[in-house]
Structure 1
Amino acid sequence: MAILGPPSRRSAGRRRRLAAVLGVTALAVTGGGLLAPPAAAMATASAAVDFPTHCIPPPIAGIPPIDGTTTAEITVDNAAPEVGDTVKVTYKVVKPAAGNPVDVALPADIMTPTGKVTLTGAQTGSVTVTGPKKNPPVPGLGEFPPFEMTGTFTVTAPGEIKLSPGDYNIHTSYILELDTPCTVTNPPAPVSQTIIATDGGNPVNERTITLSAASGKPGERVNVTGAKFTPNADVTVAGWNGSAPTADKITSKSTSTGSFTFRPKINDPATVGIVAFEGASWDPVKGAGPAAYTLIGDVPPLSQQLGTMVRNGVLSMTQAGDSVQLSTVDFGTGGASTGALHTVTVKDFRGGPAGWSLTGRVTDLTGPGGAKIDAGKLSWTPSCTTKAGSPSTCAAGSPGAVGSAGATLASTPDGAFTGGEFTVDAGLSLDVPAFTPPGTYAGVLTLTLT
């Protein structure tokens, strides 16, 4: 069947106006006549059926109602259930009654379908079905894609139960939140699936619920009508996430006849259906549903407060080695015996306001026969490097003698917030007198961090 575009008498300007507002299901009618498959008294196989459909595009689209033909098929997961069994129903719209009437492509995953499946025969009523928000891109003036919707119902009577496609709605979330409801022109539509239910002899839970709508925006209320519950019982109507109730709940009493109409507000993004039950928790023996329900439009964000703790550490230092061998000097000449301090790494992980100071002092260097080189003969040239990102910046001490009284090697100042990681080095020079007795001399350089 060919998709018909907008009537040729419409102006290009109007098409542009449609394109601007229509990230929507403004639809164009498809042609084709009615075709209903012949009835089969005890058939269980499903069949695609055609039925006339009346679709109403969103008013903002400026398009009149569309009368076209829908091709759909109903399938079930159990064509021979027992009374009391839950049957899953799939309503597949093989060919919608409309297509994209403008030459502007519609993006993927903007369409959320909902609908009804009609039950006749041994059991009457309707089954609410919904589909996921998923569709391929729709090209300009292209056919609207097929889609599927699912729902469940409980078998309450033995015999032949006939399933026919019913009304459906296409909700689109693109630029605007808009609906295009399509109704069966001459209900009921032809039977697409027939199941044969048998009486298994098990107790039958006849509790039922029906919804006023199969979808809604977050925070909207939906009418949930129940029947055949225990009279004057506490009944909870709740959202359903596929395996358990969600946070969307409302509890009240049924009437003296076991019926009720509650209007819960649906907010939880996890909700994909609605159930009703007696008692404190979900029990399928004393409940009804789930009836399919879909949240459409923007789901309000959830928030979770986060907390953590940063633990303060300590002031510490390490060194790359503990023995420095200075250069050799000659007897009678003496002079500078040089070397380098092993690198010292200071880590200030206290996270407070205090700075630190690294100082050093040296003992006399003693040699053979009690000979000594005075501690005051050792001098150093300090240097200090701050690791990137450290709150504090270290400063090297002044070059000069170390001696037994000591001198500052490096430091950081106090401040509002201090800390960091630092590397400290120093060049060493020992002034050895010219006629110092030959031999090996040793002393101790002590570093103190405060």
Structure 2
Amino acid sequence: MVSPRNSRRRRWAALLGAGALAVTVGGALATPATAASNVDFATRCIPPEIAGLPPIDGTTTAKVTVDNTSPKVGDTVTVTYTVVTAAASNPTVIDLPADIMTPTGKVTLGGAQTGAVTVAGPRKNDPVPGHAAFPSFSMTGTFTVTSPGAITLSPGDYNIHTSYLLELDTVCSVTNPPAPVSETITAADNPPANTRAISLGSASGSPGDPVAFSGSGFTPGATVTVAGRSGSDETGDKTTVTADSTGGISGSLVVNDLTTTGVVAYEGSTWTDDLGTVQAAYVVIDDTPVPDGSQKLTTTVKAGTLSMSQAGDAVAMSAVDFGSGNASTGDLNAVTVKDFRGGPAGWSLTGKVTDFSGPGAKIDAAKLSWSPSCATKAGSPSTCQAGSAGVVGSAGATLASTPDGTVTGGEFTAKAGLSLDVPAFTPPGPYSGVLTLTLT
């Protein structure tokens, strides 16, 4: 008796033997390309072993793009490798259904940084008629910039895995590596972190009182300005000192301005993030005597809290047909963040998800991706920044955030489109996972 598996293998062998693997026949290789351009390169593809076909030589047209062409050392760069025209085609006479192709590959780095970036694409494709060319597909991956200078990116080897009747691979390799350069990025050296700091001898005083200060992390011998601040504005209270051989400063600042709420120190003509310190808090106590016939009025602005609320605690995502391997989509319930602390700190809203449990099976948490958005209510001192689109998973990702600043706070609304990549032939039934949001 012939087993079902052997029967399927014989069927594939018959189909694959009915025709040769179609390729695009290549001529001379293209010269190295300008940034982010299509390049052609000679490719040798190895058909699935069951086909019994010899290696086929052809030409691949591909393109490599990045999300940041001017990164700094330490930055993470996302790479997209798009095969515009594959060297290989459908090796069978039968039509291949949609969403059975899973591509993987490598992008070769050169120039200031060498190595290879592993890239992978989703299991998603249009139907492929018999002997027709494989459709264009894209694969993504990331790498961390380790060296400054020009870094070239060239398309490398790729593999087309198909899941239909049998699990088969068509492996395509660059004949004369490396392939032509498709993209070039220029990485800048990451300057050292700003460690400049200032501390005060007291946190309050009367108008006209001197306040002692000391600081560190400045450029030895640099002229350093020490100035009062009222929120993000500089007051008239100011003095200058010279940093010693270790980068330290010390002295005293006479504070007269009643609006002064802090003291900063900086190199250069104005305060900047790169050459200035964080503000040290200082309160001017107005103890000026009240004239006869007058009344002194005082009030207090009370600091609030950082909080969040959500429009609901359940999301019904779209259904997926058994065997299709399509995406189940939905929208995250809107999350409102209220920052009424009144300090210099920003906030970050992150989320992570569990595996999706179902009837005797599960869908991995890494299959859930989102596309965040964030809106800032008019009048808020801070501006909300949406997190990057991508995988949520069990490790988590950022939904939204605001940066630290001299004055922060406000009200914000964060949302996200959700997409769960449901593998084909996942057992029918309901699946659920828990997405947990954390505000810090």
TM-score relative to the length of structure 2? 0.43
Instruction: Determine which structure has more spread, i.e. the larger CA radius of gyration.
Output: 1
